[in-house]
Amino acid sequence: MKRSEVDRSKLSPMMQQYMEIKDKYEDCIIFFRLGDFYEMFFDDAILTSRILELTLTGKQAGLDERVPMCGIPHHAYASYVDELIDKGYKVAICEQLEDPKEVKGMVKRDVIQVVTKGTRIDANIDSKSNNYIANIYNFNYCFGISYADVSTGDIYATLVEGESDKLLKEIAKLGFREVIVNNTIDREIVDKLRTNLECLVTIEKEELEDDDYSYIYKDIEDVRIVKTLKHLLYYIIETKKGDMHHLQPCSVYKSSMYLEFDSNTKKNLELVETIRNRERQYSLLWLLDKCKTAMGSRYLKNSILNPLTDKKSIEKRYDMVSLLSTEFILRDDLIKALNNIYDLERLVGRITYGNLNAKDLLQLKTSLKELPIISNILKELNFSKKINTFDEVYSLLEKSIAEDAPFTLHEGHLIKEGYNTELDELKKISSGSKDFILELEQTEKEKTGIKNLKVGFNKVFGYYIEVSKGQCNLVKDEFGYERRQTLSNCERFTTPLLKEKENIILGAEEKIISLEYKLFMDIREVIKRYVSDLQKTAKIISEIDMLQSFSIVSDLYKFTRPKLVNDNTIKLIGCRHPVVEQVMKDKYIPNDVVMDKATSILLITGPNMAGKSTYMRQTAITVIMAQMGCFVPCEEAILPIFDKIFTRIGASDDLVSGESTFMVEMKEANFAISDATENSLILFDELGRGTATYDGIALAQAILEYIHDKIKAKTMFSTHYHELTTLEKDLKHLKNVHVSAIEENGKVTFLHKVKPGAVDKSYGIHVASLAKLPSSLIERATDILNIYEKKSIKKEVFTQTSLFELEEDELTNKPNEIEEKIKSINPLEMTPMEALNYLYDLKKDIKDKK
């Protein structure tokens, strides 16, 4: 039965209430509170029962047939919500807004929050990563992007100029799970967000008009960013339906403030997760994260993805890392204190929003206790930022919150004795009455002679005297017992005195629970006044935690402080790949990377498996670490500050958009040469291998020439096209280097050492033999190779104006039309895509003439 097919006039009042609420939240699964359960109905029930493997039942709702229904216990709903959210659904939590005991007729219900991928604020989200929700606002000529971590209150915004590809690259790099778009957005962008980037996308046209949150954008002058923020805030406020004043003033940033790279570079360099398993272990983040707080780990991850470009800020971080390594006793004291700091940012979020418990306040108290120690250490280290110690908040929590307080807020036992006089009086009454109950049991045993008589309690019947069936004959009228409940093995009774005490005890306990909850909420309101200062302190602790982690790894792995220069010189002596060095069993072979002012391109040749890709990756990782403010895995490091990194490492198809390896290569090459500047770093690993050999050589040479003459960016270009090594004669800023190998008795040994000059052999068949292909296959491949080498009568011609190899007999003939066409072009004025199209046309002409 579908909801849309139902005759609503026949529905029961409760089901009509459900239908009205569901109408407002069509795109959500409604968790509808009925007593101790959350129930789902109609399509929601069918869908949820399948996903969560729940039993699908039915409910009488006034119709001829039962409506589909499934349910979960309200106290265990979090894990079910998690599973639905992870699968890309939204869940609307619909609560009873009144106490059923105090209401006649229908209990009021409404949605108190919508839980989505990007708006979670509970304790179940990954503590070491931010959980951002983003929005895109289409201004037709540019895009506004803003994003917030609702759990911490951080908000950022920027503008993206240009085509949608640039926008999507920015979204992909930041790794958003949920994106809100305005209603004028191109449908193609929405489709790519959903399919290629696996984002939960919601189209929303409304903007926030509530001035209550204007502090978030009041200092921003750009009206486009303000409009973008209001669009995001509307969705967040409407979704969470609670106090969101822990959201902080927005940080507006420009791309030039950080070292730019896209999601391909993030993936290729395995900065935060590995390519193979998509796990944190064995990534750069895994290696560098010696942080003691969840906040520090998040700050570190953001720093890896957003290295700085401001030299002064980077040098400040170097100074602190160096000082922490020198003052190692202070560093040890700092680490001990940080070990006791909980996640202040997310604690503050829950305190403001209201979904906190007593354990959260105890964690806050434990954290605040360490702040005076950290404050003193930062003063001794002359750290540029100071923290508040919140002595008054600590004192309040120390006096008020019971150390063994439960997780729930409606069971009592939240508040310490001595904090509130009225509460202490009620507890005395309750305690005295409970002592009376124990005494009553003993008195009744003696009076009646019933040895197994006991006084018990349950929520339905209250306090009772229980007598087993075998001894019920001993109950006499003069005892004044009134039968309350009959069970199979016993009878339960009450007496006028027991009723009287029951009223006193239960009345006192109800008042205690109610008063404790009120006192707890009052304490929360006091702490809310300190939210902004607590967030500032949390940010400082995050930063110092990351810097102590840098200090630890620098000492542990023998990293060195880089020297930043302005003359575009790279000099990395004894450079290592920091992760590979730690995980490999054999001794790591370090290599030098030297590119002076006169060298912009390193053309790297050498056999497969020799270490060309690792050599390039370790250079990029060293640059990223240096601009994060971390020491680097080198004996000596001199570096400029780069503005962008571009990488094309490894072959991969883009199956979702139906693009081949070669097309992906060409698109990424085009992205690099279109956006790169003289201050960029470009890494191309075997570019052009995805097409025919001569096409690949032609394109590779054209790209190298274009970068050399027009962009002048520092570039590392590895290749198996040994013909390209002759370019060193024509391109004065290009140098050949090779990864060496030794061949002895038909066996090859990789030395993993980078040396000057070119190599003219690929050792491909040797690598195949190392992979243990059948020996007969290897022998046959060797024979075929020898035949090709003997047949080869070709003579390579590599100049700035020719992209192709000509046969010897062609050189003696008169130029034909094709040759004239080739002479008429200038590769230096062509993009790679233009060169590819031109080449395609030439081949077509030759084919037509045949």
Q: Which of 392, 389, 399, 396 is nearest to 534 (CA)?
A: 389
Helices (H), 676-735: 693-706, 727-730
Strands (E) located in 658-784: 681-685, 714-718, 734-744, 747-756
pLDDT of res. 781: 72
pLDDT greater than 50 at residue 195: yes
pLDDT of res. 75: 84
pLDDT of res. 810: 41
Q: Compute the residue count for the chain.
A: 850
pLDDT of res. 771: 67
pLDDT greater than 90 at residue 287: yes
User: Which comes out higher in pLDDT, residue 630 or 443?
Assistant: 630
The identity of residue 837, as a single letter, is N
pLDDT greater than 90 at residue 603: yes
Indicate the SS3 state at residue 601: strand
Indicate the SS3 state at residue 562: coil
**Long-range contacts, 489-496 (Cβ 8 Å, 24+):** 490/466, 491/466, 491/467, 492/456, 492/461, 492/464, 492/465, 492/466, 492/467, 493/464, 493/465, 493/466, 493/467, 494/462, 494/463, 494/464, 494/465, 495/465
Neighbouring-strand partners of residue 605: 738
pLDDT of res. 655: 38
Q: What are the tokens at 223?
A: 């009206």
Mean pLDDT of 641-647: 96
Crossing angle between the packed helical segments 294-305 and 344-353, to the nearest 10 degrees: 110
Mean pLDDT of 662-681: 86
Q: Which of 425-434, 797-806, 839-848 has the lowest mean pLDDT?
A: 797-806
Angle at 377 (CA atoms; ends 375, 383), nearest 5 degrees: 80
pLDDT of res. 564: 98
Q: What are the tokens at 492?
A: 């339960």
Indicate the SS3 state at residue 109: strand
pLDDT greater than 60 at residue 581: yes
Q: Which of 249, 289, 283 is nearest to 269 (CA)?
A: 283
pLDDT of res. 610: 74
pLDDT greater than 80 at residue 836: no
pLDDT of res. 728: 93
- pTM equals 0.84
pLDDT of res. 844: 74
pLDDT of res. 777: 81
| Residue 59 per-residue DSSP state | E
pLDDT of res. 797: 41
User: Which comes out higher in pLDDT, residue 522 or 9?
Assistant: 522
* Nearest-angstrom CA–CA distance, 23 and 455: 51
- On whether the CB atoms of residues 110 and 21 are closer than 8 A, the answer is yes
pLDDT of res. 531: 96
* Nearest-angstrom CA–CA distance, 433 and 420: 20
- Most confidently modeled range among 91-100, 122-131, 363-372, 576-585: 363-372
Indicate the SS3 state at residue 302: helix
- Mean pLDDT score of the chain, rounded to an integer? 88
Report the chain's C-alpha Rg in angstroms: 36
* Confidence label for 769 from pLDDT (cuts 50, 70 and 90): low
Residue 155 exposed, middle or buried by CB count within 10 Å (0-12, 13-18, 19+): buried
Measured between its terminal Cα atoms, the distance across the chain in Å is: 68
pLDDT greater than 50 at residue 99: yes
pLDDT of res. 504: 81
Please enumerate in sequence order all residues whose Cβ is within 8 A of that of 391, keeping only pairs 6 or more positions apart, or say none.
372
* pLDDT above 90: percentage of residues in the chain: 59
pLDDT greater than 50 at residue 539: yes
pLDDT greater than 60 at residue 150: yes
* Nearest-angstrom CA–CA distance, 552 and 549: 5
Neighbouring-strand partners of residue 543: none
Cα 257 to Cα 250, 307, 372, 550, 642: the distances in Å are 16, 9, 33, 21, 11
Neighbouring-strand partners of residue 32: 39, 94
pLDDT of res. 812: 46
Q: Cα 826 to chain center, whole Å?
A: 46
Tens-digit pLDDT profile for residues 584-602: 888 899 999 999 999 999 9
Helices (H), 560-611: 578-583
pLDDT greater than 90 at residue 686: no
pLDDT greater than 80 at residue 568: yes
Strands (E) located in 344-383: none
Instruction: Report the DSSP pairing between strands 251-252 and 154-161.
Output: parallel
Q: Cα 749 to chain center, whole Å?
A: 41
pLDDT greater than 80 at residue 183: yes
Tens-digit pLDDT profile for residues 341-379: 999 999 999 999 988 999 999 999 999 999 999 999 999
Mean pLDDT of 195-223: 93
pLDDT of res. 749: 66
Tens-digit pLDDT profile for residues 718-734: 988 888 899 999 999 99
Tens-digit pLDDT profile for residues 233-261: 999 999 999 999 999 999 999 989 999 99
* pLDDT above 70: percentage of residues in the chain: 91
- Most confidently modeled range among 429-433, 596-600, 768-772, 797-801: 596-600
Please enumerate in sequence order all residues whose Cβ is within 8 A of that of 262, keeping only pairs 6 or more positions apart, or say none.
169, 172, 173, 646, 671
Indicate the SS3 state at residue 86: helix
Q: What are the tokens at 317?
A: 């971080």
pLDDT of res. 788: 60
pLDDT greater than 90 at residue 115: yes
Q: What are the tokens at 802?
A: 């020719």
pLDDT greater than 90 at residue 141: no
Tens-digit pLDDT profile for residues 34-43: 989 999 999 9
User: Which comes out higher in pLDDT, residue 789 or 620?
Assistant: 620
* Nearest-angstrom CA–CA distance, 126 and 273: 14
Strands (E) located in 150-260: 154-161, 178-181, 200-203, 251-252
* Nearest-angstrom CA–CA distance, 647 and 682: 6
| Residue 203 per-residue DSSP state | E
